[in-house]
Amino acid sequence: MPPTTPEMPPDDSSAASSSTSSAEIHTKVLQGRYELGRVLGRGGSSKVYRARDVRTGVHVAVKAVRKPHHPCSPEDAAAARRSVARELAALRRVQGHPHVVRLLDVLTSRTTVYLVLDLARGGSVQSALEERGRSDEPVARRLFGRLVSALAHAHARGVFHRDVKPENLLLDERGDVKLTDFGLCAFADRQLGPDSLTGTACGSPAYVAPEILLKKRYDPGKADVWS
């Protein structure tokens, strides 16, 4: 089936209701459906909240990505829109794998796009390493094998992550790994040249392939494996 151009969800100014919040605890309800709780993490233009589906009582994660706002250059605004659309398109392509985070819903307001995702109750691999130190070899081998399976699934669907690192690997309540955060991904059918290489440098310096640090063109699939 031919790929579709990534699209932003339609705007709904009622997505975010009035709220009472502190620095970390929120009581905002989105479209009468998702009650936001504490902040789980932050990015450059996003926050991730623990939330509850008020219809079912199920706890989820909500990634709130701010839309571009003034003062913002047209170039920066366009780049921000592309990043959100790219992450949505990637998540939709790679659904169905047990070790890729599930996209459950998408909401939007005038200022924010909300991605409703599975809640990873075990936090990130990075936080686990910081709290408990390195894993035993059998545990590390199991997690690595499941990460490789998730990447192979994404690559088979033409999605290259380009930011594989412990912060972007989540753990569920059973300790199983979930690959998340496709905001820097590339698509095989849209962003790569005929030689299947890309020249866009991205990712975290501690984990990227050497050719990216050297500002050379690189194979994004092999770069994912290096990371």
Which residues fall in the annotated binding site for ATP?
A: 67
Cα angle, residue 150 at apex, residues 148 and 155 outer, rounded to 5°: 90
Long-range contacts of 128-136 (CB under 8 A, 24+ apart): 128/171, 129/166
Residue 170, beta-bridge partner list = 124, 178
Binding site feature residues: 67
**% helix, strand, coil for the chain, step of 5:** 30, 25, 45
Please tell me which residue in 12, 105, 118, 163 is annotated as part of the active site.
163
Containing 85, the helix (H) or strand (E) segment is helix 74-94
Task: Write down how long the chain is.
Answer: 227
163 flagged as catalytic = yes
State the catalytic residues: 163
